[in-house]
Amino acid sequence: MSKYDEIDFEKVSLQLQEQVEQDPHNVKLRNELAIVLMETNEYEKAFFQLQAAAEIKPSVQTLYNLACFYFTEGKPIIEATSNTKETRNFEEETEEEESVSYTWEIADEEAFNIVEDLLENKPDHYFPYNLMGEMYIKEEKYEEAINVLKEGINLTPSLENLSNLGLCYYKKGMLPEAAECFHKTHPLRSCNNYSLFPLLSYGICLAQLGRKSEAREVAKELLFLSEKEEEALEADIADIYYILGDYEEFVDIYSKLDWD
């Protein structure tokens, strides 16, 4: 059970909404409210809180939060109905509010424009660099992603930016560089990100590079961690043995999988 399982997000949401009404220019409160609203699947309301925070105080933090939402969730578009206007101030309450509905659209361009502007001022936090790297990767612009991810890593190496840099090197066929990145990534696991995929990627790179003994050691560690942390990565780990030509190990792993 995580610490979030015990939180009554709906109750917290109501409390934060009251605080925002009392202190509408407090962007920290609005950002906190947006996070809680996403936990209760109220993504439209979360978007408008992030948008308002960025308009009130266009800082690196508020603009990054809005850009991240654009990139990961898109943007809500208010649909006009016979009872509503085409646009409406989110914080205005009217008798017709229940008639408002939304459709969601991809907003990668909006996200890119925000982050591009942020990076022109060379922010001293790695988050915007990480996000720009992800956007370049989505467009398969790996060279551009490498350049911007390196800038973020120079500020703060993280599981996300090192893993993404490793992915870029892998896509470009630069296996030694990819392996080095993935190797540096695994020790950065934390309570915020327990992912075993960087270590899995490291093992695959080692196998493809012919570093057989190292690849086998990584595979053994992955099997232990996968079972311990209930990650169910056995089928992916088996691929390491397949690349190495250890077909007995490959078959042994697959024979134990409880698949329909």
**94: region left, alpha or beta (phi > 0 left; psi from -120 to 50 alpha):** beta
The type of residue at 138 is: K
User: Matching CATH topology for 1-89+98-121 and 124-193?
Assistant: yes
CATH superfamily label, 1-89+98-121? Tetratricopeptide repeat domain (1.25.40.10)
What is the model's pLDDT at position 231? 85
Q: List average pLDDT for each run of 10 residues in the chain, which is 260 residues long.
A: 63 92 95 94 95 96 97 87 50 53 92 97 96 98 98 96 98 98 93 89 98 97 91 93 95 81
Give pLDDT, residue 260. 54
Looking at residue 162, its pLDDT comes to: 97
Token pair, residue 179, equals 């392996």
What pLDDT does residue 89 have? 53
Q: Measure the CA–CA gap between 57 and 51, rounded to whole angstroms.
A: 10
pLDDT at 2: 42
Cα–Cα distance measured from residue 184 to residue 152, given in angstroms and rounded to the nearest whole number: 15
- The domain ranges of the chain are 1-89+98-121, 124-193, 196-260
Give the pairing type, strands 101-105 and 75-79.
antiparallel
Q: Which CATH class is domain 124-193?
A: mainly alpha
